[in-house]
Amino acid sequence: MTHTAAAAHPLLTPKARRKPRLGLVAGGLGTYWPQFPELLPQLQASARYVSERFQQMDAEVVDVGFISDAQEGDAAAEQLRQGDCDLIVLFLTTYLTSSMVLPIAQRANTPVLVIDLQPTERMDHASFDTGAWLAYCGQCPVPEVGNVFRRAGIPFRSVSGWLRQESAWDRISQWIRAAHVRAALRHARHGLMGHVYPGMLDVSTDLTLLPTTFGSHVEVVEFDDLRILVDEVTDAEVADRMALAREIFTLDDTVVEDDFAWGAKVSVGLDRLVDEFALDSLAYYHRGRDGEQHERLGAGMILGASLLTARGIPTTGEYELRTTVAQLATQVVGAGGSFCEIQALDFEDEVVEMGHDGPAHLAVSSRDPLLRGLGVYHGKRGWGVSVEFDVRHGPVTLLGLGQDRDGSLAFVASEGEVVPGPLLAIGNTTSRVDFGRDPGVWVDEWSATGIGHHWSLSLGHRAADYRAAASLLGIDFRQV
């Protein structure tokens, strides 16, 4: 069974999330309408086209119509404030005054994107009169709006182009993908289970940080919650989960049947834990001792965590709350996102070898993922089955959450290319990433950004999407 077939399995159906809510308002200066009677109908037709394009996107659209003066702008601001949008799009169809749109940006407390899309590539200069020209004057107020937004302390974003220019719509779509990230993080419920890996100071996260930065909720759950749920799993449910795993994974000869069954049982319990607490992600770690029940639970997480991650619910070890946030961001833009760290450098091939033991995102696998039996989890207690595969060759983007001295978060990204070459066969997700430079220099620059020990490895070159998402989230963006 291929990794694409695995992703399509009914039990791996992606988690349904609230779609981003887009506020849309179009406008122009009402003084023109009696002067040029044909102008308003033309601009309203353009506004309908823009609205239809947004309705075709994977988002909920709150279209408040067309405004012609400051009073109508004020009414639109109130509608959009009540709409609780993730992004507001202002379509400047012709000149309008900044007083018409400033209240929308101020009162909605929502990021704003200004778009100005003239009807065609260029005017017909020989035949145009003033009224026809004004339909092409949407760019005219963009500097004015930008100036007023800056003076009001409102971040300014814009896309200028023409109505059916697909490259302009590609740029607009990038902001819609960013709105998916903002929507996901605003409403996310991040599970945190266990305790921080002893000594990993970078992993430690103030639990108020995500609610105050993104609006997310952090739900503290206990390994005892999982223990009770695992105890309730029946033998028949274990057999069903083992059958599912055999469909998705290739089982290595090292897999011990009892360890496989235990991982399957924990997997069913994990699903119930996620459902009970309505989690969008889960970060966990427990040290344990001498094979006691909590140590066995922590060691049995990898199969179930990988299956949850494949469903778009990042489930990650070492208590890495911030990395599950990055994985959720890469997931909702459609790029997967596997738990990752630096493993070694290859100075002959000039690549960085990276990956991680434990949970992995099946969507990034280049082949059927392997279940390997491990008698030792390096640096951790316990034993059992682990997931192993190499990442699909081609463009990738790393995304992590850095943190600064003042506690503020930043998106940190780097684009590279996964290339073929020798890989370790030790029950890890592994890849060889070429960043087009000396790998030692790349490590130095990456480590200087404030990134932590781990990050999300996602498919495609996505830095522009992540930069846009950082803008909507109001956090810094750094790229190596």
346-363 pLDDT, tens per residue? 999 999 998 876 666 777
The set of residues, in sequence order, having a beta carbon less than 8 Å from that of 129 and lying 6+ positions away, is: none
pLDDT at 379: 46
pLDDT at 310: 87
108-151 pLDDT, tens per residue? 889 999 999 999 999 899 999 999 999 999 999 999 999 999 99
pLDDT at 474: 95
Distance CA 19, CA 39 (A): 35
Range with the poorest average pLDDT among 22-31, 96-105, 290-299, 316-325: 290-299
2-47 pLDDT, tens per residue? 344 344 466 677 888 888 999 999 999 999 999 999 999 999 999 9
Q: Does domain 3-13+187-479 have CATH number 3.20.14?
A: yes
Distance CA 451, CA 320 (A): 12
What residue spans in the chain does CATH classification 3.40.50.10940 cover? 21-179
Residue 154 above 80 pLDDT? yes
DSSP calls for 46-105: HHHHHHHHHHTSSSEEEEEEEE-SHHHHHHHHHHHHHHT-SEEEEEE-S---GGGTHHHH
Pairing of β 315-316 and β 281-285: parallel
Residue 383 above 60 pLDDT? no
Q: Does domain 21-179 have CATH number 3.40.50.10940?
A: yes
What mean pLDDT comes out for the span 414-442?
87
What residue spans in the chain does CATH classification 3.20.14 cover? 3-13+187-479
